[in-house]
Amino acid sequence: MHALRGAAHRVEATLHTFRPLLEAEWAEHLQGELNWLSAVLGSEYACAHRLGRLLGALRRLRDEEGARAAAVPAQGHPEGPLPMGAARAGALLDRQLTLARNRAHSAALDALGSARFHAVADAVAVLASEVPYRRGTSPHDPEVIGALASLTSHRLADAIAALPLDRAGAPYNAEASALGSAAPGGEPQDAPWHRVRGLLRVRVYAAEALGAAPEARTAPGAHALDRHREAADAATAAAAAARTPRIAPPTAYALGVLHAVQRQEVEAARHTFQRVWREAVRV
């Protein structure tokens, strides 16, 4: 499924890049179907990865708290709220995300057996021999193709220029973390960064379509944006679990700490991106 999802991403991005050469209605429809397929196929993996990330973070928090407690002579104090709530928080996340993963798995199987999927597969297969070009365009002109591909770089540069890179100048930015925590999922603060991640992928796929070798200098930035997306999604899952009705205060506390840690990871990824990207563009 991972390979199929990656192929759908590449075809959709290529359609996006060279859309001015294609029949508008056909291209819009196929792009929408490929986006649907990518979302359906990616949901199961995303849930599993998110669960593993959050449970691992909870274990580290619990171990760190235990190490701090062991370093202080016992004075008869009761166990703190984090160790008390971590186990229940982990169990709650396990239930919620495993349920979501199972539903996503069923949805993916249903999609792969559907007439809709087979229609998408047929449409993509036809592209190998019969591309519906728009009349009056020059789809085989290298200059036209190169100009459209170069637009992906311009869009990416504009999106990066709009990022608050100065605010991302510290690896753990308390101000930005507070802003990101003010709304569900860190929105709208996270959205521009997710957009840059998507545009960077489009640029890479456009270069692939022209037969260019991958740019090694942009790989660290892409990796940082992947980490950013994973941490932001994990923070959203922790916040959603914390809103579960009637959970015990120690459980809610542990989930709150977990959410804060993931938002710190978001800021660390932004800091990494601004550093490695500035180094990349100087090369």
Q: Which domains does the chain have, with CATH numbers?
A: 2-71+81-282 (1.40.20.10)
Residues near 215 by beta carbon (within 8 Å), at least 6 away in sequence: 204, 207
pLDDT along the chain (283 residues), means of 10: 91 96 96 97 97 97 78 57 88 98 98 97 91 92 95 96 74 52 60 97 93 88 98 97 96 96 97 93 72
At residue 182, the pLDDT reads 44
Q: Provide the Cα torsion 4, 147, 159, 5; round to 10°.
A: 0
pTM of this prediction exceeds 0.85: yes
Residues near 154 by beta carbon (within 8 Å), at least 6 away in sequence: none
